[in-house]
Amino acid sequence: MTEVCPVCGLPKNLCICGTISQEQQKIKIYTKNVSYKRVVTVISGIDPKLNDIYKLVKTLKTKIACGGTYKDNVIELQGDHIEKAKKILLESGFPQSAFE
């Protein structure tokens, strides 16, 4: 017996819930200044229930080679990494239309 997705009801190998959820999200990437004139890249709008958010944060930190965290439903990366973060999110399967 094959496993069935609880969200869409399709078999797991045919499930498209992840693709649909990524297309419906509106991701916003911007920078902000924090204490001592430091810059932080902020990524908001990613639903943690539909994506493995901690795996995504780890991938971003590893590929960009910076520090960062996930708190208050936003990802914060140390430094100005808007273009790099957008490129990595596109490679992770988020569509171009998801970005504001």
pLDDT tens digits, 26-84 = 899 999 999 998 999 999 998 887 678 899 999 999 999 999 999 999 999 999 999 99
Count up the domains in the chain and report the number. Answer: 1
Q: How far apart (Å, rounded) are the C-alpha atoms in residues 77 and 60?
A: 8
CATH no. for residue 67?
3.30.780.10
Quick check: is 75 in a domain?
Answer: yes
Domain holding 36, by residue range, is: 26-98
Task: Name which of 91, 82, 70, 85 is nearest 22 in CA terms.
Answer: 91
The pTM (predicted TM-score) of the whole model is 0.77
pLDDT by residue (tens digit) across 25-36?
789 999 999 999
Structure tokens at 99: 């970005």
Q: How far apart (Å, rounded) are the C-alpha atoms in residues 51 and 31?
A: 23
Quick check: is 56 in a domain?
Answer: yes
User: Percent of the chain, pLDDT > 70?
Assistant: 88
